Structure 1
Amino acid sequence: MRKFLLSTVAVGFVAMPALAEISDNKVKIGILNDQSGVYADFGGKYSFEAAKMAVEDFGGTVLDAPVEVITADHQNKPDVASNIARQWYDTEQVDSIMELTTSSVALAVQALSRDKGKVTITTGAATTELTGEQCSPYGFHWAYDTHALAVGTGGALVDAGGDSWYFLTADYAFGYSLEEQTSAFVTEKGGEILGSVRHPLSTTDYSSFLLQAQASGGKVIGLANAGMDTQNAIKQAGEFGITQGGQKLAALLFTLAEVHGLGAEVAQGLNLTESFYWNRTPETAEFGKRFMERTGVMPNMVHAGTYSAVTQYLKAIEAAGTDETEAVAAKLHEMPVNDIFATEGKVGANGRMISDVYLMEVKSPDEITEEWDYYKVLATIPGDQAYLDPAESGCDLVK
């Protein structure tokens, strides 16, 4: 009996390693974003569904451990987001936090996660500071950033003759970064910056800001905002006859979700930059239609980027043989990204995932042949041109 018990214990011991390498015998991912404010359609519940879809497509487990996805609304407030993240890490055994719409939120949560030794993958925020001076060895930035948007939309409009700009800028980290990056690119190409005005997040009345922009005489009014803020600014610009007067609106961060919210009649002719379009290839179309069946909407770059980030995180755990942060972060840096979002994407030493982005134009209503097919792809911008060279990012992790 004693020999039997000893052999049973031994067998039980050697059977454990598959789960012993996974903390708490499960992998838990938190999707933290805006679910009730101006960015609710931009990411929101749809990013949560994208994350769950990625887990299901992966098989629901990694290294024989179940994968769980939870979510919360940070209300676009860094203090609220930090409190949720701390609770998730300290009491709810969350291994990684992703999405993180709103740059001020993403910076706060990435800093906390660095202190806690946890991986973050930001897909919803735009500031290059995430992979610049405030970079983290465990922080990764997927989907897009302000530099890629400036190169795409800003560059295209200057090349088309839009060489004088005035900005309407959201009054927080994201808006400042987007205005700064676009201004630098416009100036570099020989354009002129006439000025800017800043508006609070979630403004509903843009009349005074638009009148200042109109009076500037700038050929281009750069909307350095996002979500419902951009939608409302475009609607009210139409009421003031700004585009009819010859000025061009540049929606510097505008996605399929917001185009659908405006409708092609209002949005037609807008140039914008996204790193994903559902109807670009047969593979993206197949993913888009599955996402549509699940959510009732087609995915934008934030939703598809979240799917990609979750998938790559699980691949990294599988490759590392553990969910230990250092090992997983090392694999995230090493492994190429090949999925519906990116082809041969690569992660720089600063955590920036580098993949192609696309300059789009919104079709006129009579050009649209099927629901949600709003874009013409005007140009593909290679990732190495769209994103900052990691060596020039200001990140102290880059040797």
Structure 2
Amino acid sequence: MAQRDMSVDPADRSDERHVDPNRTDEARLVGRTPVADAMSALLSRPDEIMLEIGATGELLVARLRAVIAALLLLLPLANALGGGTLRSTLVGLAGAVLINLFAQIWLPLARRSRRYRWLPFATSAFDVTATSAVLIVLAFNDVPAGLNSMVVWCGYLLAILLTALRGDGRTTLVAGALALAQYGALAAFALLTTAPEQLISSEHGIVTWSTQLQRLLLLGMGTLVTAVIVYRMQRLVEMSGTDGLTRLPNRTWLLHRIPRLLRAAREEGGSLTLALINLDHFKRVNDEAGHHVGDRVLRHVVSVLRDSAEPGEWLVRLGGEEFVLVMRKPIGTAWERVDALRRLVASRPFEVDRGADFIRVTFSAGLAGYPAEGLDLSALLGRADQRLQEAKREGRNRVIARDG
């Protein structure tokens, strides 16, 4: 069968998207139910864009918590002015001070929440447990006041709903499960150990199994709704950060991921190299074979690169026929790796149709290493692009890692 040497020029860079080459589409295998797919997504660690959104959400929750905690200091004063006992006023004041103390602890940590992966879980658990603690204090003096207090009980729903701002389905499920467990235990203990006459209050009504089960059901429903919201947010963010044609991450993902990779390389004394890859004469493929075939060629190249992906590598589509390969390697080792990929892609021509002609695809690449040749993404891409253009001037189908 004949082979046509069709490659691409770096001119077309319109659609800027990027993807992790280690990521597969196994979550969407045929036969997998939408519910199973949703649960898998909710139980998985969010991607970089969602984590960045979650970090700002955690800070927003921390600020809101600090404001609410400050307002809680007014409740003991209102209780005293309303004729409450000294004991109840002091208990309320102690609780408000304790909540304010923790609110001030969480606030500075939230400003660096990406560094503390446990923080969203700890703060969500704190919000739920603080609600339970207040209900326990109320129930200690008057069981109906604790178990029938709608205002305080809504703290559970608020704690669960606020997890949506963190963008991590795991925190939603943890907060919901903790709320169900704590309130369920409180209600069961009170109903099983309290005399029937003490479950009746003229001010707060009657405590029954039926009403408590209804509240537990509402907590479960609140958790489910919040989890669905988080899942929907994750899918929308995924679509915005993923190339629709190749399913690779796009520039948005790269912009969020690279700063963390550079910081990790700096702190650990490691190396990081960016390879800017451009398919040779790809415009000719679109012109002579059509854009539909061109799209299939792109997916073919991505498939070859994905199949040979190694740990610590990220493949990103910048747009058109241009890609970035991020590697945790020094530039010399990275050159050997990219040159091997170049030879691999060249050895795997694309078959347009069974029995039809092959299209031989090659690429050119320019490399740049951190920190010697750039301290941020813009500088590294600029240096890599200079070397990519040099590779094209020298005849294409080559990888350049040093200035000529």
Q: Give the TM-score, by structure 1 length.
A: 0.27
More strand by share: 1
Q: TM-score, normalised by structure 2?
A: 0.26
Relative contact order, CA 8 A, sep 6+: which one is greater?
2
| Structure (1 or 2) with the greater helix fraction | 2
Q: Which has the larger radius of gyration?
A: 2
